[in-house]
Chains A and B, each alone.
Chain A
Amino acid sequence: MASFPILTWMLLLPLIGALVILGIPRERVGTIRWVALGTSLGVLALGLGLLSGFDLSQPGPQFVHHWDWAPSIGAAYRVGVDGISLWLVLLTALIFPLALMASWSIEERVKEYMTLMLLLETGVLGVFLALDLLLFYVFWEFTLVPMTLLIGIWGGPRRIYAAIKFFLYTMAGSVFMLVAIVALWLLSRPLTGTGTFDPVWMAAHLSPLLSPAAQRWLFLAFGLAFAIKVPMWPFHSWLPDAHVEAPTAGSVILAALLLKMGAYGFLRFNFSLFPVAARDLAVPLALLAVVAILYGALASYAQDDFKRLVAFSSVSHMGFVMLGLSALNPLGVQAALLQMINHGLSTGGLFLLVGMLYERTHTRDFRELGGLWKVLPVYGGILMVVGLSSMGLPGLNGFVGEFLILLGAFGSAALGPAARGLTAAAALGVVLAAIYILTMLMRVLHGPLQDRWRGLPDLHVRELAIMAPLLVLIILIGLYPLPFFAAMQTSIQQSLSVFTQATLAVR
């Protein structure tokens, strides 16, 4: 296994698939779809191989593949997977085939669409796998282009506005990250001669030398890029537009994966590189997270558009993730990481379900829906389960994440005296989640059925095949989260221990 660069193959496979698709005549839509799906399933297979070979006891990166492509400036191609990125990589490998299956209904420019999807897959995987700041930045920006095009070409009526807003907003944030990366490289130059982009080396040798003020500025520069991506309140306003206009698969990938890149960035870089700043800024971070939880939930309740409701619920859920991260203790951080997966499954699932409904009714307006459980019993049942998972019902995955995040934040030393008040406010978000999710279920499924919806077809086999893996995971994580936590345990413990040492050294 060690000699076979499995991670590099995971990155290359979608690129190869994209090249193959470019060689297929554009009329052969069926072939193009199957090649794309086959490629992404291949990535999933590699991902499962990764899981089977993963060593739980090892905290550091595994399956590392290293190539010094520019030793003169200390930049390297270095990919690896550890307990922090493992589940996100697997989530990516899982979501893409599902999103591609959900794209079967795309009829125009299939060739370009599938090519972009595969390019996007490489980009997202690269973000989670990169162990070099420059490489990370390249992949980070690389995801932006296909996503913007997916929104801008296959999107809804206001797609251009949404695509440009998405592109510029995220770009504006990542510029600051680039500046910070260059700054870190310049700072590392006197120590190494050539400078380096290796975050592990920086965490060990560079961060302790940084002054608290420098740490704070760099934290904020990285943090802005990540905060926009998460999105944290008040940087979230690109999200509803992008979600509403994006095609179904775009929304799914955006919610399930791209948002995770922001939270992942915080965990991977901000906390390990700037522990002192992280500790100092934990309370403001948590405060913004709590505002996001409540704000997203309130805004979500007042929507009449199904997709917009789910989009705002994302803001609320990602608030929980950020609250867990800012707790800076194993409970909060592990639960936050699990909640990222949960959110990918449940919100991704909700977007899929919205898309399936839209393909039938051609409307997402609650005022025109209602009573659909009568004609769509299977759809209704699945929407119920996924919705309940999203509102954190015990027995399903959402509860595990949310409850343990609250548990972690409640006893967080980093949040100090503010911990309990913030947690109590966040717990109010759970109540609000019940209100908006149950209202959504009521407005879609319950009530009298309009005559024009009589005879709508229930889910067919392809759609069931899309939802089945999500449902299995939603229930599995809810009932038995132990293995999911076990895989991330050692890595997170290590990253947090580095963090506490550094903090103690400065204090």
Chain B
Amino acid sequence: MGALFEWSWLIIAFPLLGFLINLISTGQTRERTVGVVASMAAAASFGMSVLVFAALLARPPEARLVEVSLYRWAIVPPLTAEVGLRIDPLSTAMALIVTLVGTLIHVYSIGYMAGDPHIRRFFMFLNLFLASMLLLVLADNFLVLFVGWELVGLCSYLLIGFWFEVPYNAWAGRKAFIVNRIGDFGFTLGLLLLFWTFGTFRYGPIFEAVEHRAVEAGVVTLITLLLFAGVTGKSAQIPLYVWLPDAMAGPTPVSALIHAATMVTAGVYLIARAHPLFAMAPFVQGVVTLIGAVTALWAALIAVGQFDIKRVLAFSTISQLGYMVAAAGAGAVGAAIFHLGTHAFFKALLFLGAGSVIHALEHAHRHPGDPSPFDPNDMRRMGGLAQRMPLTFWTYGIGAAALAGLPPLAGFWSKDEILISLRGIGGWATLAYGLLLGAAFLTAFYMTRQVGMVFAGSPRSHAAAHAHESPAVMTVPLGIFAFFSVVAGWINAPGLGALSAWLEPEHPPVFHPEQALLATLIALAGIGAAWAIYRPQAWPEGVEDPLRPVLRGFFTALTRKLYVDELYDFLFVRPFEKVARGVAEVVEPYGIDGAVNGLARLVQSAAGRVRRWSSGYVRQYGLSVLIGAVLLMFYILWMLR
């Protein structure tokens, strides 16, 4: 069985191979083949993950850690950097989630992206993403994790800007990468400090040193704070969440896979992975928990005012990531990973459902040959799709209910566990607990609003009236994801607790009936409140959103995402451009080059005066020589005196 682990690098290699095959197979390959190759690569990676998982499961709990060294990357004293994999419960659990969701979305993409002229590039990037994400997850040291971390950022950039002809898409991709890099600025500094504190990047020795309290707590506080800066970028937390809503410019499967289910959870994974470090820095834990909780509430609030079907989901993702970050910050790694897993399923389901709706609307719009610009993402143009797209409606409903936290669906269990884990710690955690309860109410509210706007009532546009159900290659994955959205929560349901037993055997999941009841009631209250406002009977014809007259100016603020983008633009983007322009257009030509050219001019004008001496007349030269000779003679005579 041990030999199997030596081959665990295949988990990463399969998607990489898929990437290379599609890279080399120039243009001639058929569009279908490209998708199948990529999907098979993803499936093979999933198969390998299952094998590794099974092999690890066969071991006794205390022996479930295998480190596989692949090769030496660089030796520069005092640094010895190796590329290695760490196979343990946390990494295998993540690998399973990533490869399973990834494979399903690859399959879905074959249908969704059919007919796109650049489908080969799409699947290449998707495969590359999968490989990078798995590298991130399986790495046995922070440096390789960082490599994967940046590479998933690259793939995210490439895929957001996949339809690069539209300037907004390209801009959104760039924004995502840059914002991530700003977070990684902190991450990088954290890595530097980490290395000079511990002398290595490897998890094992670092965690050991922490366990033995071999380092100062103050340094660890700083390190974790810097690492968390990276987390706020990648996992879209305050203050760096602003890229994720714009990331919805990418194709919908990308939004589902990268910007909901996997990449954005990398930050949560990092906190879980570095948990021994965070555990040593209670101050940072408090910061993380609070930022997670505030983000959860803040994003949920903004989601209420969005009209773009995917943007609602994007803010919902930010909000749910806030839950996970808060839990991970509070040390409840099991709960965080549990929610990460369930969220991956139901959020992927929701995105793919949204993709199905967009796909249907686009086709229905194009069908009558209407050339007018039309935004198929706009929920104000939808309505009444429940009868026209029943499969999408029912699966979407399940996803929404799971997200809202209705029992016995997946989201209920994981969210419940997070809330429980925050109780009884006191201090900031209690505040976070309250914020998360508020976020739970808003979550139920905005999901009900969305389902109501999209599926209930009567169609509000020509396209919505003529929409049809999507093909099977898209609806079958919906069904599969719906199934998981129902059952995924049960693997860690109280009494069963398989995930907790796997991740942290010493912490079995607890269940407080009153907590479950409270959460359910809050969810129901959210649903009820939304239904009261958005049910078709209460929604007069021609009104854009029944909430607008209630909230007035605040609703406008919500639709404008609380003006955070504008604030950042004013605070950072424009000053940056001004400084850059100032450097390039004032300091460089007039300051630095001005000094150089000024010096040159000075020499030139001095030379201009001396130049007149050379008149070109032999006579004058002769006189000069003569005078020189006479002077020299007198000098010599004076010397000899």
Assess whether B424 is interfacial by the CB under 8 Å rule. no
**Closest CB in chain B relative to A399 CB, distance in Å:** 8
Assess whether B514 is interfacial by the CB under 8 Å rule. no
**Closest CB in chain A relative to B286 CB, distance in Å:** 24
CB pair B74–A237 under 8 Å, yes or no, is no
List residues of B (532-578) whose CB comes within 8 Å of A's CBs.
Answer: 576-577
CB pair B188–A427 under 8 Å, yes or no, is yes
CB pair B192–A442 under 8 Å, yes or no, is no
Assess whether B59 is interfacial by the CB under 8 Å rule. no
Known contacts A427-B189, A438-B174; is-contact A298 B580 (Cβ 8 Å): yes
Q: Which residues on A are within 8 Å of B, measured CB to CB?
A: 165, 168-169, 234, 236-238, 295, 298-299, 301-303, 312, 330-331, 334-335, 371, 373-374, 388, 393-395, 399-400, 403-404, 406-407, 410-411, 423-424, 427-428, 430-431, 434-435, 438-439, 441-442, 445-449, 480-482, 485-486, 489, 493
CB pair B583–A434 under 8 Å, yes or no, is no
In addition to A331-B77, A331-B78, A407-B192, 6 A-B residue pairs with Cβ atoms within 8 Å of each other are A168-B600, A299-B583, A331-B79, A393-B151, A393-B154, A399-B150
CB pair B76–A298 under 8 Å, yes or no, is no
Measured between beta carbons, the chain A residues less than 8 angstroms from B147 are 394-395, 399
CB pair B583–A449 under 8 Å, yes or no, is no
Instruction: Please pick, from A406, A442, A447, A480, the residue contacting B73 in the complex, using a CB distance under 8 A.
Output: A480
List residues of B (169-183) whose CB comes within 8 Å of A's CBs.
Answer: 169-171, 174, 177-178, 181-182
Known contacts A431-B181, A438-B157, A447-B170; is-contact A410 B196 (Cβ 8 Å): yes
Measured between beta carbons, the chain A residues less than 8 angstroms from B154 are 388, 393
Instruction: Please pick, from A400, A423, A482, the residue contacting B75 in the complex, using a CB distance under 8 A.
Output: A482
Closest to B182 in A: A431
Closest to A303 in B: B584
List residues of B (204-246) whose CB comes within 8 Å of A's CBs.
Answer: none
Measured between beta carbons, the chain A residues less than 8 angstroms from B171 are 442
CB pair A410–B185 under 8 Å, yes or no, is no
CB pair A448–B77 under 8 Å, yes or no, is no
Closest to B596 in A: A237
- Measured in the bound complex, the distance between the Cα atoms of B580 and A334 in whole Å is 31
A-B pairs with lowest CB-CB distance, top 7: A446-B170, A302-B584, A394-B147, A446-B164, A237-B593, A302-B580, A410-B192
Measured between beta carbons, the chain B residues less than 8 angstroms from A395 are 147, 150-151
Assess whether B146 is interfacial by the CB under 8 Å rule. yes
Interface residues on chain B, number (Cβ under 8 Å) = 51
CB pair B580–A371 under 8 Å, yes or no, is no
Closest to B585 in A: A302
CB pair B150–A430 under 8 Å, yes or no, is no
Measured between beta carbons, the chain B residues less than 8 angstroms from A394 are 146-147, 149-151
CB pair B593–A448 under 8 Å, yes or no, is no
**Closest CB in chain B relative to A494 CB, distance in Å:** 13
Q: Inter-chain contact count A-B, CB under 8 Å?
A: 138
Question: B614-633 vs A: 1/0 string, CB under 8 Å?
Answer: 00000000000000000000
Assess whether B375 is interfacial by the CB under 8 Å rule. no
Closest to B79 in A: A331
Q: Could you write out 5 A-B pairs with CB less than 8 Å apart?
A: A237-B596, A334-B76, A395-B151, A480-B73, A481-B73
Measured between beta carbons, the chain A residues less than 8 angstroms from B593 are 237
Assess whether B581 is interfacial by the CB under 8 Å rule. yes
**Closest CB in chain A relative to B538 CB, distance in Å:** 43
CB pair B192–A438 under 8 Å, yes or no, is no
Known contacts A388-B154, A446-B164, A485-B74; is-contact A431 B185 (Cβ 8 Å): yes
Instruction: Please pick, from A302, A331, A439, A448, the residue contacting B583 in the complex, using a CB distance under 8 A.
Output: A302
**Closest CB in chain B relative to A485 CB, distance in Å:** 5
Closest to B177 in A: A438
Known contacts A237-B596, A331-B78, A393-B154; is-contact A302 B167 (Cβ 8 Å): no
**Closest CB in chain A relative to B383 CB, distance in Å:** 33
List residues of B (56-104) whose CB comes within 8 Å of A's CBs.
Answer: 71-79
Measured between beta carbons, the chain A residues less than 8 angstroms from B167 are 446-448
CB pair A237–B580 under 8 Å, yes or no, is no
Measured between beta carbons, the chain A residues less than 8 angstroms from B196 are 410-411
Measured between beta carbons, the chain B residues less than 8 angstroms from A403 are 188
Closest to B72 in A: A482
Q: Which residues on B are within 8 Å of A, measured CB to CB?
A: 71-79, 146-147, 149-151, 154, 157, 161, 164-167, 169-171, 174, 177-178, 181-182, 184-185, 188-189, 192-193, 195-196, 576-577, 579-581, 583-585, 588, 592-593, 595-596, 600
Instruction: Please pick, from A301, A330, A435, the residue contacting B76 in the complex, using a CB distance under 8 A.
Output: A330
Measured between beta carbons, the chain B residues less than 8 angstroms from A393 are 150-151, 154
- Measured in the bound complex, the distance between the Cα atoms of B163 and A374 in whole Å is 10
- Measured in the bound complex, the distance between the Cα atoms of B157 and A193 in whole Å is 66
CB pair A371–B151 under 8 Å, yes or no, is no
Residue picked from B77, B585, B595, most chain A C-beta under 10 Å: B77
CB pair A237–B592 under 8 Å, yes or no, is yes
Known contacts A371-B164, A374-B165; is-contact A335 B76 (Cβ 8 Å): yes
CB pair A236–B74 under 8 Å, yes or no, is no
- Measured in the bound complex, the distance between the Cα atoms of B226 and A322 in whole Å is 26
- Measured in the bound complex, the distance between the Cα atoms of B150 and A394 in whole Å is 6
Measured between beta carbons, the chain A residues less than 8 angstroms from B77 are 330-331, 493
Closest to A443 in B: B170
CB pair A442–B174 under 8 Å, yes or no, is yes
CB pair B165–A407 under 8 Å, yes or no, is no
**Closest CB in chain B relative to A367 CB, distance in Å:** 13
- Measured in the bound complex, the distance between the Cα atoms of B77 and A335 in whole Å is 11
Measured between beta carbons, the chain B residues less than 8 angstroms from A234 are 592, 595
CB pair A404–B188 under 8 Å, yes or no, is no
CB pair A446–B185 under 8 Å, yes or no, is no
- Measured in the bound complex, the distance between the Cα atoms of B184 and A399 in whole Å is 13
Instruction: Please pick, from B184, B188, B579, the residue contacting A406 in the complex, using a CB distance under 8 A.
Output: B188
- Measured in the bound complex, the distance between the Cα atoms of B188 and A504 in whole Å is 33
**Closest CB in chain B relative to A23 CB, distance in Å:** 40
CB pair A236–B592 under 8 Å, yes or no, is yes
CB pair A449–B165 under 8 Å, yes or no, is yes
CB pair B192–A423 under 8 Å, yes or no, is yes
- Measured in the bound complex, the distance between the Cα atoms of B169 and A241 in whole Å is 34
- Measured in the bound complex, the distance between the Cα atoms of B184 and A303 in whole Å is 25
- Measured in the bound complex, the distance between the Cα atoms of B326 and A227 in whole Å is 50
Measured between beta carbons, the chain A residues less than 8 angstroms from B178 are 431, 434-435, 438
**Closest CB in chain B relative to A265 CB, distance in Å:** 21
Measured between beta carbons, the chain B residues less than 8 angstroms from A438 are 157, 174, 177-178
Measured between beta carbons, the chain B residues less than 8 angstroms from A442 are 161, 170-171, 174
CB pair A400–B74 under 8 Å, yes or no, is yes
Instruction: Please pick, from B165, B182, B189, the residue contacting A371 in the complex, using a CB distance under 8 A.
Output: B165
Measured between beta carbons, the chain B residues less than 8 angstroms from A482 are 72-75
- Measured in the bound complex, the distance between the Cα atoms of B193 and A137 in whole Å is 42
**Closest CB in chain B relative to A154 CB, distance in Å:** 23
Instruction: Please pick, from A404, A428, A435, A446, the residue contacting B74 in the complex, using a CB distance under 8 A.
Output: A404
- Measured in the bound complex, the distance between the Cα atoms of B201 and A394 in whole Å is 15
Measured between beta carbons, the chain B residues less than 8 angstroms from A480 are 71, 73
Known contacts A448-B165, A482-B72; is-contact A427 B193 (Cβ 8 Å): no
Instruction: Please pick, from A373, A424, A447, the residue contacting B189 in the complex, using a CB distance under 8 A.
Output: A424
**Closest CB in chain A relative to B327 CB, distance in Å:** 29
Closest to A446 in B: B170
Measured between beta carbons, the chain A residues less than 8 angstroms from B177 are 434, 438
Known contacts A407-B192, A438-B157; is-contact A430 B76 (Cβ 8 Å): no
Residue picked from A298, A388, A404, A449, most chain B C-beta under 10 Å: A298
- Measured in the bound complex, the distance between the Cα atoms of B584 and A446 in whole Å is 24
Closest to A172 in B: B599
- Measured in the bound complex, the distance between the Cα atoms of B151 and A404 in whole Å is 18
CB pair B73–A299 under 8 Å, yes or no, is no
Measured between beta carbons, the chain A residues less than 8 angstroms from B170 are 442, 446-447
CB pair B185–A407 under 8 Å, yes or no, is no
Measured between beta carbons, the chain A residues less than 8 angstroms from B576 are 435
**Closest CB in chain B relative to A437 CB, distance in Å:** 10
CB pair A486–B79 under 8 Å, yes or no, is no
Instruction: Please pick, from B76, B161, B185, the residue contacting A404 in the complex, using a CB distance under 8 A.
Output: B76
Measured between beta carbons, the chain B residues less than 8 angstroms from A489 are 75-76
CB pair A406–B192 under 8 Å, yes or no, is yes
